[in-house]
């Protein structure tokens, strides 16, 4: 999901958040990493209630936290805390779909119309591949929703959104470009449709398929697909969203919410450890054939850095890392690994919307990979 926080920061520049007590902890299976802890502290200072991270490299495993788990307390963030990982879900879902391709249950060139007749206009011209790599041209349903800081957003906190509802809201708008495949534009609508295609192909929900194909085999014990359940198992930091009323902007605890609004591309709950393990397993070939992994790492459009549910970035030291990032309204996350899995980094934070932490997150990633 594109960073909603950038929009929210603009809308909440007047937000004054009381400084949280400085609480920082680090757990290392190798040695203390003060440079990483300092970058994590910088990230919190840039606009977060709290943050946690895990780095794996030649020095071992380093885990750290900064800030607090809950506003107006001194409660430390659990180093193995769970969080909503937003669009990192897309990498899980894409992996499950490419496994189905490996098994011959569907093809990347299958059309939406073949699997979901009548679901979208021009469904016979949009392929599974184009849904995966954001070249379908389908309007992003997120643009049709009321979002923070509009307080009306809170009225839908417990609402269950069906896939058909979300797709219907999207296709009520014209395509963002035509023909499909000609351009790249991020659209969560495509992943809602992919979730429905998985169900048609397997007879099971996309969440069940991700559980049995990825979460269980990899023993990702802190990772769940919550579906419509608003709960997040302990331990976890609290997440917040801004809401305006009475002429002021307030932070509202939004830890519990119905995640169906995030759709098939945004609902996963995980930990820094589990996401590092997942990305490593993906890149080392434990989950996909070489052919499908090559498909996953092929750019959607020349010059783009997104393939089939997987993104990449080139660091300042010339090292390319693969993974994804996620924005789940009250939580943000980044998870990346080098192709050889020798360097991995996952960060999660709970934004306070007093600033934009993206640059500080990039600086942490650079420190973790380039030193």
In the predicted structure, residue 19 carries a pLDDT above the cut 80? no
In the predicted structure, residue 252 carries a pLDDT above the cut 60? yes
pLDDT score for 203: 97
Cα(50)–Cα(42) distance, integer angstroms: 11
As a whole number of Å, the CA-based R_g of the chain is 20
Q: What is the pLDDT of residues 58-106, one digit of tens each?
A: 999 999 999 999 999 999 999 999 999 999 999 999 999 999 999 999 9
In the predicted structure, residue 301 carries a pLDDT above the cut 60? yes
Measure the CA dihedral 243/352/254/40, to 10°: 170
Which has the minimum average pLDDT: 8-17, 118-127, 208-217?
A: 8-17
pTM: 0.92
Kindly give the interhelix angle for 189-202 and 88-102, rounded to the nearest 10 degrees. Answer: 40
> In sequence order, which residues have a C-beta less than 8 Å from that of residue 211 and are 6 or more positions away?
225
Is 87 in the active site?
yes
Measure the CA dihedral 275/278/279/285, to 10°: 180
Mean pLDDT throughout 104-119?
Answer: 98
Cα(149)–Cα(2) distance, integer angstroms: 17
Which has the minimum average pLDDT: 15-24, 158-167, 229-238, 314-323?
A: 15-24
In the predicted structure, residue 120 carries a pLDDT above the cut 60? yes
At 32, the pLDDT band (50, 70, 90 cuts) reads: confident
**What values do phi and psi take at 205, rounded to 5?**
-65, 155
Mean pLDDT throughout 204-227?
Answer: 98
User: Do the Cβ atoms of 297 and 307 come closer than 8 Å?
Assistant: yes
Cα(354)–Cα(371) distance, integer angstroms: 28
At 31, the pLDDT band (50, 70, 90 cuts) reads: low
Cα(106)–Cα(111) distance, integer angstroms: 10
Beta strands in 185-339 (DSSP E): 240-245, 248-253, 269-270, 311-314, 320-327, 332-338
At 14, the pLDDT band (50, 70, 90 cuts) reads: very low
From the list 87, 260, 270, 354, the catalytic residue is 87
> In sequence order, which residues have a C-beta less than 8 Å from that of residue 203 and are 6 or more positions away?
none
Q: 3-state class of 37 per DSSP?
A: helix
**Token duo for residue 68:** 């607090």
At 5, the pLDDT band (50, 70, 90 cuts) reads: very low
User: Residue 172 carries which DSSP code?
Assistant: T
CATH domain 34-370 topology: Beta-lactamase (3.40.710)
At 197, the pLDDT band (50, 70, 90 cuts) reads: very high
Cα(121)–Cα(193) distance, integer angstroms: 13
pLDDT score for 9: 36
Cα(5)–Cα(130) distance, integer angstroms: 26
> In sequence order, which residues have a C-beta less than 8 Å from that of residue 111 and are 6 or more positions away?
123, 124, 125, 126, 127, 128
Mean pLDDT throughout 36-41?
Answer: 97
Mean pLDDT throughout 197-206?
Answer: 98
Question: Cis omega before residue 149 (within 30°)?
Answer: yes
Query: Where exactly are the structural domains of the chain?
Result: 34-370
**What values do phi and psi take at 86, rounded to 5?**
55, -130
Q: What is the pLDDT of residues 315-365, one digit of tens each?
A: 999 999 999 999 999 999 999 999 999 999 999 999 999 999 999 999 999
At 247, the pLDDT band (50, 70, 90 cuts) reads: confident
**Mean pLDDT over each residue of the chain, to the nearest integer:** 92
Q: 3-state class of 279 per DSSP?
A: helix
Cα(339)–Cα(228) distance, integer angstroms: 34
In the predicted structure, residue 4 carries a pLDDT above the cut 60? no
């Amino acid at each position: 999901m594109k960073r909603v926080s950038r929009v929210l920061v603009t809308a909440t520049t007047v937000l004054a958040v009381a400084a949280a007590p400085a609480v920082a902890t680090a757990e290392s299976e190798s040695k203390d990493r003060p440079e990483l802890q300092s970058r994590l502290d910088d990230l919190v200072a840039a606009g977060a209630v709290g943050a946690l991270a895990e780095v794996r490299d030649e020095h071992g495993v380093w885990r750290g936290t900064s800030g607090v788990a809950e506003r107006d307390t001194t409660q430390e963030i659990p180093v193995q805390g769970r969080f909503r990982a937003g669009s990192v879900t897309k990498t899980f879902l894409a992996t499950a779909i490419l496994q189905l391709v490996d098994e011959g249950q569907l093809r990347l060139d299958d059309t939406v119309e073949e699997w979901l007749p009548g679901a979208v206009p021009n469904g016979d011209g949009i392929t599974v591949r184009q849904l995966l790599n954001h070249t379908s041209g389908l309007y992003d349903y997120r643009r049709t929703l009321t979002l923070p800081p509009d307080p009306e957003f809170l009225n839908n906190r417990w609402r269950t959104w069906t896939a058909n509802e979300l797709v219907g809201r999207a296709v009520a708008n014209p395509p963002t470009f035509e023909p499909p495949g000609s351009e790249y534009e991020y659209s969560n609508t495509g992943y809602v449709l992919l979730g429905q295609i998985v169900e048609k192909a397997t007879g099971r929900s996309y969440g069940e398929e991700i559980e049995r194909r990825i979460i269980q085999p990899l023993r990702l014990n802190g990772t769940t697909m919550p579906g419509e359940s608003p709960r997040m198992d302990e331990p976890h930091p609290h997440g917040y969203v801004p809401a305006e009323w009475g002429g002021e902007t307030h932070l509202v605890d939004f830890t519990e919410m119905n995640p169906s609004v995030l759709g098939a591309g945004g609902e996963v709950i995980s930990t820094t450890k589990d996401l590092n393990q997942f990305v490593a397993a993906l890149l080392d070939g434990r989950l996909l054939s070489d052919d499908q992994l090559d498909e996953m790492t092929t750019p959607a459009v020349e010059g783009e850095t997104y393939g089939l549910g997987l993104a990449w970035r080139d660091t300042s030291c010339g090292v390319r890392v693969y993974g994804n990032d996620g924005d789940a309204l009250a939580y943000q996350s980044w998870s990346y690994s080098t192709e050889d899995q020798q360097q991995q980094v996952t960060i999660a934070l709970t934004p306070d919307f007093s600033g934009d932490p993206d640059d500080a997150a990039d600086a942490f990633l650079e420190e973790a990979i380039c030193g």
